[in-house]
Structure 1
């Protein structure tokens, strides 16, 4: 007697429970989902179902738009290893001036510019952890505020185009990635504004939390030099996003243009060398390998679960909730928030979106709007314990006396701000959809 004797309801519980039990063993997510997919394929249907599952895997790995992912990752890797981001941060000191909390605000603005250049999160947090965190601590900034600004600011890449999260969502939901990018700009800037307002209110009420820079330090950078240093990052942003919004290039072509721009600028700055290129390519291969293997395993798992009738079971269970449609969307958001505490966003996207997006459309909602909600939700998941990856990124470069407990404690106010923005977008969809309507 096979697993099919369990029935779809009990089979769903066994499948989900198996994933979480195997994750507790420390196995990578790709191995866990792949193993569960194989067990349920043979246990539920027998070997005859294998070609149907492999066809889903083939459809995933041959998706043309996936080519944009390694390009954006390569662009981020090159930026991390060049002096472009460092000069950007240093040049912003003149704009920070002597305002209380100015360096923290400067860090957040640099973070949104870095996000607009690459759309990859981990590298931004590490970079800001190396550049900004020591400077804020040296200036006497409150430790919790400094940590929160670096991690929350570095996570803006989930929202700000060209976000890898939005690209993957667009592929799964079969919606325009360019429209997702357009819709995401306002919510990303709204989130940035909330962060900046929080920092300024705290530091103006209590300047000891973010002491202003001395007159001598504020004069170290001239305005002219600051503007010159801003030219290269802004040029990259214009090339990538401008080419997409102007209709000159597709997402994939814009990613290639971005890589070319970084290479040319690094060459002109005499920073491009074999070691830098080799390290960037190796990092790209490692990151893409992780994404592709998680994608393959998740595509197989979703494929077999749909064959089991799981998508119909989940849809009927969610749509069967006797509540207004907005409450159903809130339930989805809650499920994503809980999963975000334990799973990587790639796995969450590939496991849940094939089921959630058709329900969203059936309820009469715009899948572009839901994509923005998903991106904000995944930004929350980057920060939330126990497995929030952003904390681990910062811990890898933070001073030894800063523990994971310090980092997670520092992130609580910023998680609260993210949830406020998520609620605003949920109840006021026009905040994201006005630009594409």
Structure 2
């Protein structure tokens, strides 16, 4: 039966076009990416490879789902879920008032600093963007901040979780590329701080030349009693210490990423208990959110693993490799730029998990063949995904913020507001590509 429908006779070139066409056609119907990749993989297994190839695909699913490093993902997601439902983020934001309250643009800078701390505690962007949208955006709008500056700051700051360790993006990349996640965390730290510094510098420079963009709050609003100050500092001291201990144990080689993630969850849970906020409802809702998020990642991972496996058996990996290596003048830089262009285009329509699982099995071996460091490329990839979180029409950070923004703020307003920050991301990416030492200084 299947011999009558042997698609392999059309060749890998037309087979690749057919595979991509089927994927985009199914995605256009609104079908989730995990189902799309699974259906396309099954179709090509039956009509290109034959039913005998099915056991090979099952072994790929087993290998993906049983990776020990993958255990760190639900741990960091659970940390973020508990943070979302506790008052830690609010106290952290209030604590930053002690630093930047009287500075022009201080609330925006305060928002970015808090974003870095929240990213270091969780590693994901959804909850962080929502938290900043609830805490920082209303305050900046109430103080008379320029709407575009306020919106852009919240969106860009909320997306820093893709770069700041313990980034889930870096964990998934390390799992696919088979490189040390601890090394990826170390390599991404300085580029992440450079990107955050570019955001802060942009805000301060704009506010310096146009003071109307960020009025300074009335001094009465900035006053805090000694009791209030002590309460705020005490409330965030332990969670911040937990975040530093998690990253410090990884950097120092004391604990693996998975072990540190488990300790981090325990530390955040204890911090929430000491604050008197640990309730059954909080734990239940956090667990449910964790299962939903990780379930989405796993299903996308299974579908992507299937289609990459099928495409590899079809000979597609060699086809793509030859096509990339022969692009333009064949120089490593031109091939790298082509890869980043592909990542940018995919980022306009697909989730980062799907992009990573679909492209990195193909790109990473080529990067190594070209003489680039896969650790450095992991940071380049995460910065590309940072850009995809802000760029329309997908731009998940914009949708996260829209869910909590005032009704008069539309997606169009958000997309216009993030344009300068996308430009700053491009500057950071150019610096990282031009000076790999920014990520590899520790080697």
TM-score, normalised with respect to structure 1 = 0.98
**Contact 2:239-2:271 at 8 Å conserved across structures:** no
Q: Partner residue of 1:251?
A: 257
Q: How does 1:27-106 map to 2 (within 5 A)?
A: 27-106=31-110
List 4+ stretches of structure 1 deviating above 6 A.
none
**Contact 2:187-2:375 at 8 Å conserved across structures:** yes
C-alpha distance in 2 between matches for 1:221 and 1:62: 52
Alignment partner of 1:136 is 2:143: no
**Contact 1:65-1:251 at 8 Å conserved across structures:** yes
**Contact 1:113-1:233 at 8 Å conserved across structures:** no
Alignment partner of 1:393 is 2:400: yes
Q: Partner residue of 2:270?
A: 264
**Contact 1:101-1:200 at 8 Å conserved across structures:** yes
Alignment partner of 1:332 is 2:314: no
1:283 pairs with one of 286, 289, 304: 289
C-alpha distance in 1 between matches for 2:402 and 2:237: 31
C-alpha distance in 1 between matches for 2:261 and 2:54: 35
* Alpha-carbon shift at residue 2 of structure 1 (Å): 1.6
Q: Partner residue of 1:219?
A: 223
Q: Partner residue of 1:10?
A: 14
C-alpha distance in 2 between matches for 1:216 and 1:158: 37
**Contact 1:94-1:221 at 8 Å conserved across structures:** no
2:298 pairs with one of 292, 305, 309: 292
- Label 1:260 to 1:253 Cα distance change in 2 as closer, same or farther (>3 A): same
Aligned length: 436
Alignment partner of 1:168 is 2:172: yes
- Label 1:221 to 1:400 Cα distance change in 2 as closer, same or farther (>3 A): farther
* Alpha-carbon shift at residue 337 of structure 1 (Å): 0.4
**Contact 1:157-1:163 at 8 Å conserved across structures:** yes
* Alpha-carbon shift at residue 433 of structure 1 (Å): 0.6
* 1:383 aligned counterpart, secondary structure: coil
**Contact 1:94-1:226 at 8 Å conserved across structures:** no
Q: Partner residue of 1:158?
A: 162
- Label 1:229 to 1:271 Cα distance change in 2 as closer, same or farther (>3 A): closer
**Contact 1:239-1:257 at 8 Å conserved across structures:** no
1:406 pairs with one of 399, 413, 417: 413
* Alpha-carbon shift at residue 51 of structure 1 (Å): 0.7
C-alpha distance in 2 between matches for 1:225 and 1:217: 17
* 2:389 aligned counterpart, secondary structure: helix
C-alpha distance in 2 between matches for 1:254 and 1:365: 29
Alignment partner of 1:209 is 2:213: yes
C-alpha distance in 1 between matches for 2:8 and 2:194: 48
* 2:407 aligned counterpart, secondary structure: coil
Q: State which drifts further: 103-112 or 199-208.
A: 199-208
* Alpha-carbon shift at residue 91 of structure 1 (Å): 1.4
C-alpha distance in 1 between matches for 2:25 and 2:371: 36
Q: Partner residue of 2:120?
A: 116
C-alpha distance in 2 between matches for 1:421 and 1:233: 29
C-alpha distance in 1 between matches for 2:441 and 2:368: 18
C-alpha distance in 1 between matches for 2:14 and 2:253: 49
Gaps of 5+ in 1: none
**Contact 1:108-1:196 at 8 Å conserved across structures:** yes
* Alpha-carbon shift at residue 226 of structure 1 (Å): 5.0
**Contact 2:239-2:268 at 8 Å conserved across structures:** no
Deviation string, structure 1 residues 56-90 (Cα, Å, up to 9, x no partner): 11110011110000000000000110111110011
* Alpha-carbon shift at residue 227 of structure 1 (Å): 3.7
* Alpha-carbon shift at residue 94 of structure 1 (Å): 1.6
* Alpha-carbon shift at residue 233 of structure 1 (Å): 3.1
TM-score, normalised with respect to structure 2 = 0.97
Gaps of 5+ in 2: none
C-alpha distance in 2 between matches for 1:233 and 1:200: 28
Q: State which drifts further: 88-97 or 162-171.
A: 88-97
* Alpha-carbon shift at residue 54 of structure 1 (Å): 1.3
* Alpha-carbon shift at residue 380 of structure 1 (Å): 0.5
